[in-house]
Amino acid sequence: MELSVLNINGTETGRTVTLNEQIFGIEPNDHAIYLDVKQYLANQRQGTHKSKERGEIAGSTKKIKKQKGTGTARAGAITSPVFVGGGRVFGPRPRNYGFKLNKKVKQLARKSALSYKAQDNDIFVVENFELAAPKTKELINIANNLKINDKKSVFVLPEENKNLYLSSRNLPGVSVVTASELTTYQILNANSLVILEGSIAKIEELFKI
């Protein structure tokens, strides 16, 4: 698959890049995508939820009434879960929601997501550029030139670019990542994938093509 390389003004440079069919042209595997996105979202959870059980409630453990003869159920302490203000039975405890996912499954998921974007013509290849200073307005102008200003977009960089990252922080729906940190969730969550020209080789290297 060939794509024209655009400049930051949104016009063609006259050059083209060939996207590798083994990365951008495979038959997408929806189940691999599901597993990778599920793991990504699970890893975002803090897992710090906690409720107090009867042994953690501040209250007297004195037996509040005699065992027999009251006509009501026996009760051992005011902290019992059956009383208002008592502990919670089987309440949530801190836990880690993450789970293991094989590297090959994660690779298949990312290639499947990239193939979906390629099928939908949502990939833009832009020649490498840098910002002299963090300027949100400049990034807005670039998005306007590429006609993606009203869409969620991800800029894929070959390496870290602090100025470009800082310029994107105030823009809702715009994120900047390096090729090595690109996730399946970010690919699918964006309407447009803006790949800098130098990132193509990084992506191929990532998948050992």
Residues 74 and 174 in one domain: no
Residues 151 and 196 in one domain: yes
- Pairing between β-strand 153-157 and β-strand 123-126 as defined by DSSP bridges: unpaired
Enter the pTM of the model.
0.83
For 35, other C-beta atoms within 10 Å of its C-beta total 19
Domain containing residue 115: CATH number = 3.40.1370.10
Integer-rounded Cα Rg, in Å, for the chain is 27
Residues 42 and 55 in one domain: no
Q: Which residues of 93-102 are buried (b: 16+ CB within 10 A; e: fewer)?
A: eeeeeeeebe
Residues 139 and 66 in one domain: no
Residues 6+ apart with CB under 8 A from 4: 12, 13, 15, 16, 125
Spatial separation of the C-alpha atoms in residues 177 and 161, rounded to whole Å: 9
Residues 106 and 81 in one domain: no
Residues 14 and 61 in one domain: no
User: pLDDT tens across 105-151, in order?
Assistant: 999 999 999 999 999 999 999 998 888 899 899 999 989 988 888 88
User: pLDDT tens across 6-59, in order?
Assistant: 888 888 888 888 999 999 999 999 999 999 999 999 999 999 999 999 999 998
Residues 143 and 127 in one domain: yes
Residues 68 and 137 in one domain: no
Residues 107 and 39 in one domain: yes
7 lies in which domain range? 2-46+97-206
Q: Which of 31, 66, 91 is the last residue of a domain?
A: 91
For 75, other C-beta atoms within 10 Å of its C-beta total 15
Number of domains in the chain: 2
